[in-house]
Amino acid sequence: MQTSELFLKFVRRIILAFFILLSWVVVSRAQNAGNVGIYTREINVFTSQNTTKSSTIFPDFGFAANYLTYCNTAFTGTIDMEWSPNPATTPYIVLVQASYAAPAPDSNCHTLQTGGYFPNLRSTVSVLAGSLSAWYTASAAPIPLVSSGIGSNGPSSPINCDHNAVSTVSSAATINLGSITPINTGDTIVLCAFTISFVAAPSTGGVLITWATATNCSTTTSSSWAADTTSNTPQLFTVLIQQRTSSPSFPIPCFSNTAGVTAVVSASYASVHGL
């Protein structure tokens, strides 16, 4: 009897050990589910390119996250990422593109991105002036099809204006708005919104925003925003039109007041790199 009981205990232990081992196998398999191998690549695309040219087709390893980073030197023209289902029979289709207009040559670095699998992907640069260098990087990883925002210079994130400034501007004066200057070299100042109030009823004249080379506002571009004033102009109004310079050579925002009375300007802004 004692031997039988010992044998049964031994069998129970064997069965228990088997189920424990089986549970380990099942758990370990579940832990491995969903693991992926990430493949990445970086190649040089253009080097000081100063003529219109299409690159060779980028390597195809099933990439979904595609980035084209480029640095401009007094550049005007366009650069893109483009794709063809079959280069022998189908023209290339532009997926993303950045443009830099002749009045404001660009000398900054930027990045275009394309989400999704596009074999036969390449870049074409159309040069009007200046030059650029570009590099392609990619990974087989998830990415949205399009960026959260897109503008004339290609994809970008929406601007988050996290600074504020206030200026008191006497009549017939032009001053550096809020003493705002780029925080870092190469930054672009973006004004998200501003309010203008007058200490008394204004007269026939106007208010405007220009961009200058220095904080004394002695040399400015044409205005990026302007409004006429009369005796019927409200003493407080809000402007929600985003403002930024048209040229990196004029990074300083200036406010001009010819409304006949002192104006108080409150602005929200950000100093953004790479726009």
Encode pLDDT of 109-155 as tens digits. 988 988 888 999 999 999 999 999 999 999 887 776 666 777 777 77
β-strand pairing of 225-229 with 236-239: unpaired
Q: Is 259 left (phi over 0), alpha (psi -120 to 50) or beta?
A: alpha
Structure tokens at 169: 């501007």
Q: Residue 160: CB partners within 8 Å, gap ≥ 6? A: 270
- Alpha carbons 169 and 118: distance in angstroms, whole number: 54
Residue 3 predicted with pLDDT over 60: no
Domains of the chain, each with CATH number or no CATH: 40-155 (2.60.120), 163-273 (2.60.120)
Identify how many contiguous H helices and E strands the chain contains and give both numbers: 1, 18
Are 123 and 133 in contact, with CB atoms under 8 Å apart?
no
Summarised one tens digit per residue, pLDDT across range 19-67 is 554 444 444 344 444 445 567 889 999 999 999 999 999 998 888 889 9
Summarised one tens digit per residue, pLDDT across range 59-94 is 988 888 899 999 999 999 999 999 999 999 999 999
Question: b/e per residue, 144-174, with b = 16+ CB within 10 A?
Answer: eeebeeeeebbbbeebebeeebebebebeeb
Q: Residue 221: CB partners within 8 Å, gap ≥ 6? A: 210, 211, 212, 245, 246, 247, 250
Question: b/e per residue, 206-237, with b = 16+ CB within 10 A?
Answer: bbbbbbbeeeebeebbebbeeeebeeebeeee
- Alpha carbons 132 and 75: distance in angstroms, whole number: 7
